[in-house]
Amino acid sequence: MKKTIYFYILAVILTSFPITLLSQNKESIAIIGIDAKGIMFDNASMENLLRLEVEKTNKYEVFDKYDVNNILKANGFDPLDCFGKTKLIEIGNLLKVNKILTGNIDKFGEKIIFALRIIDVKNQTIENTNVMEYLDLEREIQTMARISVNNMLGIANDALLVDLLINYEQMISSPKTTVKLNGPRMGASMIYGAESERLRAPESEGGFDMYPITSIFGFQYERQYLSSGDFQALIEFVPALSGLESGNFIPSLSLMNGFRFNKKGWEIGLGPIFRGVKYSKGYYTENQVWIKTDTIIDPNFALTRRIERDGKLELSTGLIIAFGKTFKSGYLNIPVNIYFVPKKDSNTVGLIFGFNIAKRSIKRY
């Protein structure tokens, strides 16, 4: 029985010896001179928080805050007014520690910035510096402190956690990286296919008696939603009228998702196009004579519809694909685009251009 007891005592001594030796080999560190501004925590609270996170790493022997305060006050130092490298090195020699952790935690705009430094007291140098910009989430201030401390001490952080808190830089939007092409548009288009025949048909046959090529007049509005260097993504609205030279009034609205390369001026866009078109129902006889009707009694004929001057105005939809380039002359922008609208019964191709003068936008608050 006595041998068993001696064995356990010996095992405890042997296992605790390396731990004790390791703790004796750890360097000492004091957390002093933490300056917190613009956040809900004061200097003392942030010092305590950083001290806790450093202790968790088990990398240093962390100097107790009460011992720090007592020694500083006994030597005429204010524990809450110890800033600057020279003073901190003097305090480090007074405390007889190897390192001092100091730094600033500032709220700047929509960011919380941690700037921490480790000072080597013996060599009187700044051993390491780490600056991190976090999102303005004060409830996660302890997690931010842990990430910054780990970065200082070379400890890997959870990548997902860092991604959720870090404040990534927003791309700068300026006249160098954006081009605004709001302005008038004009051009011409040509429709070919079955609908083209109806548009060119004489009024006596229910057509519109239009020219094969028709004019277009409109205005482009655009809204940028992404700008990254030379690349720009935007939404474009183009209301337009066509057929005016033939005495007709054909409204349309194009809604496109555009992609623009500003330096070269190239652009591509695609999206839906909406038009107001007059249709009537009926059928063609064996002699290809059109009979306008809403119902068919004879099953040998199929009810269909066609463009008709006296028809009912309906909304026609399609897909528009545009490609173009913007030419520049000083502050003048001249966008030139070709576009294509494919449909089952007919297709449309067109050329459209416009102009605008680059203006500097001023925000008023």
CATH number for 81: 3.40.50.10070
The residue from 114, 137, 165 where one domain ends is: 165
More reliable by pLDDT, 247 or 229: 247
More reliable by pLDDT, 263 or 100: 100
Q: How far apart are CA 309 and CA 258, in angstroms?
A: 34
For residue 171, being part of any structural domain is answered with: no
For residue 174, being part of any structural domain is answered with: no
Could you tell me if 98 and 228 lie in one domain?
A: no
The residue from 103, 132, 165 where one domain ends is: 165
Q: Quick one: pLDDT band at residue 7, thresholds 50, 70, 90?
A: low
What is the per-residue pLDDT across 114-168, written as a single tens digit (0 to 9) for each? Answer: 999 999 998 999 999 999 999 888 889 999 999 999 998 999 998 888 888 885 5
Could you tell me if 208 and 336 lie in one domain?
A: yes
Phi, psi of 182, rounded to the nearest 5 degrees: -60, 135
The residue-averaged pLDDT of 293-315 equals 82
For residue 342, being part of any structural domain is answered with: yes
**CATH code of the domain in which 237 resides:** 2.40.160
Could you tell me if 235 and 136 lie in one domain?
A: no
Full residue range of the structural domain in which residue 91 is found: 2-165
Q: Is the pLDDT of residue 99 over 50?
A: yes
Could you tell me if 210 and 347 lie in one domain?
A: yes
Mean pLDDT across the chain, nearest whole number?
83
pLDDT for 80 equals 76
Could you tell me if 100 and 238 lie in one domain?
A: no
Could you tell me if 194 and 128 lie in one domain?
A: no
The residue-averaged pLDDT of 197-221 equals 87
Domain total of the chain: 2
Could you tell me if 110 and 217 lie in one domain?
A: no
Residues 6+ apart with CB under 8 A from 168: none
pTM of the model: 0.50
Could you tell me if 120 and 152 lie in one domain?
A: yes
Could you tell me if 306 and 266 lie in one domain?
A: yes
What Å distances lie between residue 172 and 28, 41, 135, CA to CA? Answer: 44, 32, 18
Strand order from edge to edge, sheet including 28-37? 61-62, 28-37, 99-108, 111-120, 125-135
pLDDT for 314 equals 87
